[in-house]
Structure 1
């Protein structure tokens, strides 16, 4: 008869088996976290996992994401979850899960009562089967985060989610993004949102929302006064519906992030948003990109940013900014002491007028990211940028995008590279041209080479579209070796 090991010896053996598998997968052992994200798990690995999970009773987090072999093989793993009753986080992103896997997962939830975060995103084959899972979640379950991004959810899945909401009143984050059919059941979902008053994050990006669904969502806002992040971006059919569907949006006084990019906002919508957005006193992040009415609206929302002093991120890419709206933005920038990210890309009016925004930047602000791609910048814009860099207001800048600005001469680039050395924290610089441009590098290339050793934080330099001679390519390729650096050059 096999003699039982003493407790200490058995514990050592268990620890060794766990350590052996994790080292094989190039992961560090951790009693509370089993992170096997993107480990290319195979059948043998899964067999070993089945053996070691019972040896890890203190596990609080499991991440099997981006392992396609998990799909169709989840049952034996879920059977081991009875040994991990302290589990709080389960991530199964992009695992190729099937309807059968969802069935087994639903049964496993009964033995992991303290689960707080469940992420099933990027599993396209579970659409139409979500109710199998949601029906297994009992009333009062302590789930706080549910993510099902891009899972091909159907209208019936949306209805099953709605029925779940009044049973898990602890929910704080709900992510249904990139499920285009969810919009058909949004009325059912929004009617049940009143049962999750603690909801802080609601992501409905690209969910096929229409005006009537957005109106129902607005009605739910009166119950979600603690909401901090709202994303309804890429729902083009809500255009024109703000006038009748945004009455309660202004009630969200705790809202910190609002994403409305690519919603085809119309001029009549802008009139409403101009009244509502300045009332969102806690707003820190605002994305209005790819809404051309933002720049041409007679009701100037941008001038009222002055009432949002907590703004840290303002994204206005491709908003058809006009001279008047750009000037209004520049004036408002004086009142934004916490601004960290500013994106003005694809607004041609910036060209020749960059000084308006640069001179208006609040001296207390510590801008970290400035995007000016395809802004028709000219030499005087880069000269002004170089001067402002030397004066100090951009000393904290980490990312600078000047790509697709083909009106700048060799002298303009040379002036810029002479002044850029003051950006000690710059990590990413993009000066690419359009792929069709194929311009030779001028005398500015020598100025760039002289500046590179002084940009100690630089890790990435994009030069796509520029034609480098063989000598110039070798100079960049030898830079890292000569200066003991690790800059990624993309040319």
Structure 2
């Protein structure tokens, strides 16, 4: 469910700035990143003469040459040796630029995300592109001062003909930037992935500045436009563009609610993208009518493998209008419908089409609290032997559903991730889930947060560890289960040596709770050396004495484990 986009770090803050911030940004745009990092007194002194002196001279000559001020006389051609020297010096400039940003230079991959780049940096980077002819990946995401200066970079794209991946998420892209990028697309004929997510300037009717430059020879396979405030006009432009993108495999339009007014324009063009494998429409305000439109067009993408319709609460009760199209998706592997306010009728409608999905490996129905009593009707039609991820957290699972699911565990032989958190009925019957597990089973993630687990449940979990049924477990979430007695924790930690691959362990208490960790802490301290892969330990709201905390932190610091503790 991954989109290939970084999380929206500080996005809201970047969208709303004070007048002082705007003034300071204008000043910063005229200053390079490296100049802002230099001590001000450093400018008063000349650098000492060293082995880099010759390189500086060569760089100056290289720059003059590129501007038509070659030192050789008219009609004189540079030798191969001169070309090699120039190339070496150019790469030296690239290394210097990248290293001053705290990054590692790579001739094929340029990753400068979160580098606080400015318009001046964009100009300098553009002059370096001639020395990056082998570049395939360029990531400039999360540099919001680049907005409005993209043309200074794209005008040099003729030197990066091998570029395949371009990421510009959260760069405050403007309409002029989109036009400049569109005009440069012909210089990147091999471009396969374009990520413009988290740029409000992409929407508002501006998308046409980019899409009008697309043509049928495009190699684009992935287009990410998450939270770009796309409008109905943008949806029309996107619909026209899709007719040119016959190679498209991934389309992510999540968090664009206004665009759904033009959903029909997008959906109608799906017949031009027969190779589409991933379609993400999370948090797009899909309604019953949207589902009906989408249901009619899904038959044009029979190879679809990943469908994300999550966080569309307006679609509650309208799933049946989508089922006609879903029945054509015989290759579907992942369906995400968490937080959709699904009803019992929606689940019954889903039950009718699931038999068509023989390749389904991942199903997310979490945070749909009204379906806990009917999910058991879904279990018999799922391809249980192929399921790898099953998320049913916060679904209000009934006791009968939990028992039916526990019975199905013996068929879930490939299951890697199971999330049953926030289902109180799991408590006291955890044994039924654990007993069908076989030694060395594939389970890597088990989340049982806030499940009203008991001390007895912990004893069964201990037994599963002892039998080797959880030997591949990497994530174990047992938070918010304050009803577990001290003896339960002691017994679990006593079998820690069986959890060699465990990376994350969470046994935190609820925010309103507070208990002493002293009774079971010695067992945990003895267990930690036997957990070589542990990287995160959460013990929030457990009270530790000064000596206990010091001892715990000393052990964890040696293992480089992150401790989350009040």
- TM value normalised by structure 2: 0.83
Q: CA deviation at 1:485?
A: 1.5
- CA shift, 1:364, in A, is 6.3
Q: Say which SS state the counterpart of residue 307 (structure 2) adopts.
A: strand
Displacement after TM superposition at 1:44 (Å): 4.6
Q: Secondary structure at the match of 1:68?
A: coil
Deviation, 1:326, is 0.7
Which residue pairs with 1:410 in the alignment?
486
Is 1:469 matched with 2:545?
yes
Matched, 1:177 2:235: no
Q: What is the Cα deviation at residue 304 of structure 1?
A: 3.4
CA distance in 2 between partners of 1:298 and 1:47 (Å): 57
- Is 1:275 equivalent to 2:344 in the alignment? no
Whether 1:479 and 2:555 are equivalent positions in the alignment is: yes
**Structure 1: distance between partners of 2:166 and 2:253:** 17
Separation in 1, partners of 2:514, 2:182:
56
- TM superposition shift of 1:450: 0.9
CA distance in 1, matches of 2:217, 2:388: 37
Query: Partner of 1:343 in structure 2?
Result: 419
Contact 2:397–2:425 (Cα < 8 Å) also in 1: yes
Question: How far has the Cα of 1:43 moved from its partner?
Answer: 4.5
- Secondary structure of 2:117 counterpart: coil
Question: Distance in 1 between the 2:358 and 2:425 partners?
Answer: 29
Secondary structure of 1:54's counterpart equals: helix
Hey, which bits of structure 1, 4+ residues long, moved more than 4 A? none
Question: What secondary structure sits across from 1:110 in the alignment?
Answer: helix
Aligned residues of 1:333 and 1:362 also touching (Cα < 8 A): no
User: What per-residue deviation string (whole Å, max 9, x for no partner) do you get for residues 351-394 of structure 1?
Assistant: 11111111123556310000001101111111110111111111
Q: What secondary structure is seen at the aligned counterpart in 1 of 2:275?
A: coil
1:353 paired to 2:429: yes
- Structure 1 residue 165 displacement after superposition: 1.1
Match of residue 2 from structure 1:
71
| 1:489 alignment partner, SS class | strand
Match of 1:227 among 299, 304, 308: 304
- Greater C-alpha radius of gyration: 2
1:238 corresponds to 2:348 = no
Q: Which deviates the most, 441-450 or 237-246?
A: 237-246
Instruction: Please list every run of 5 or more consecutive structure 1 residues that lacks an aligned counterpart in the other structure.
Output: none
Range moving further from structure 2, 430-439 or 396-405: 430-439
State how far apart, in whole Å, the 2-side matches of 1:238 and 1:290 are.
14
Q: Using the alignment, how far apart are the partners of 1:70 and 1:99 within structure 2?
A: 13
Within a 5 Å distance, the mapping from 1:281-292 to structure 2 comes to: 281-292=358-369
Q: SS state of the match for residue 213, structure 1?
A: helix
Residue number in structure 2 paired with 1:113: 189
- 1:370-409 to structure 2, matched below 5 A, reads 370-409=446-485
Identify the match of residue 13 of structure 1 among 76, 89, 102.
Answer: 89
CA separation in 2, counterparts of 1:197 and 1:389?
A: 46
Residues 224, 210 of structure 1: alpha-carbon distance in 2 compared, 3 angstrom cutoff: same
Task: Report what 1:490 is aligned to.
Answer: 564
Distance 1:424 1:476 in 2: 19
Q: Secondary structure at the match of 1:70?
A: coil
1:28–1:384 Cα change, 3 Å:
same
Alignment partner, residue 6 of structure 2: none
How far apart are the structure 1 equivalents of 2:166 and 2:192? 8
> Which residue among 251, 261, 279 is the counterpart of 1:202?
279
Looking at structure 2, the residues matched to 159 and 433 of structure 1 have their Cα atoms a distance apart, in angstroms, of 50
Aligned: 1:450 with 2:450: no
Kindly indicate whether the alpha-carbon contact (under 8 Å) linking 1:270 and 1:299 is maintained by their aligned counterparts in 2: no
Change (3 A) 1:362 1:135: farther
Q: Residues of 2 paired with 1:243 and 1:68: CA distance?
A: 43
Match of residue 65 from structure 2: none
* 1:156 has 2:233 as partner: yes
Separation (CA, whole Å) in 1 of partners of 2:180 and 2:443: 49
Aligned to 2:38: none
Say whether the 8 Å CA contact 1:425–1:458 is kept in structure 2.
yes
Do the aligned partners of 1:338 and 1:364 also contact (CA within 8 Å) in 2?
no
1:186 aligns with 2:263: yes
1:41-190 mapped onto 2 (5 Å cutoff): 41-128=117-204, 129-190=206-267
Q: Give, in whole Å, the separation in 1 of the partners of 2:547 and 2:308.
A: 48
Preserved CA contact (<8 Å) 2:203 2:228: yes
Q: For 1:448 and 1:32, locate their aligned partners in 2 and report how far apart those are by CA, in whole Å.
A: 46
2:42 matched residue in structure 1:
none
1:438 and 2:507 matched: no
What SS does the aligned partner of 2:537 have? strand
Which residues in structure 2 correspond to 1:415-426 (within 5 Å)?
A: 415-426=491-502
Residues 376 and 401, structure 2, Cα contact 8 Å, conserved in 1: no
What is the CA–CA distance in structure 2 between the aligned matches of 1:194 and 1:207, rounded to whole Å?
21
Return the match for 1:323 from 383, 387, 399: 399
Shift of 1:164: 1.0
**SS of corresponding position for 1:247:** helix
Give the Cα separation in 2 of the matches to 1:61 and 1:149: 20
Mapped partners of 1:379, 1:238: distance in 2? 41
Cα deviation, residue 298, structure 1: 7.6
In the alignment, what sits opposite 2:25? Answer: none
Give the TM-score normalised by the residue count of structure 1: 0.96
Q: Provide Cα deviations, 1:410-429, integer angstroms capped at 9, x if missing partner.
A: 22222222123311110100
Task: Judge conservation of contact 1:303–1:331 (CA < 8 Å) in 2.
Answer: no
Alpha carbons 1:280, 1:308 under 8 Å: kept: no
Residue 25 of structure 1 deviates from its aligned partner by 2.0
Alignment deviations for residues 155-184 of structure 1 (CA, whole Å, 9 cap, x no partner): 211121111111211111100001111222
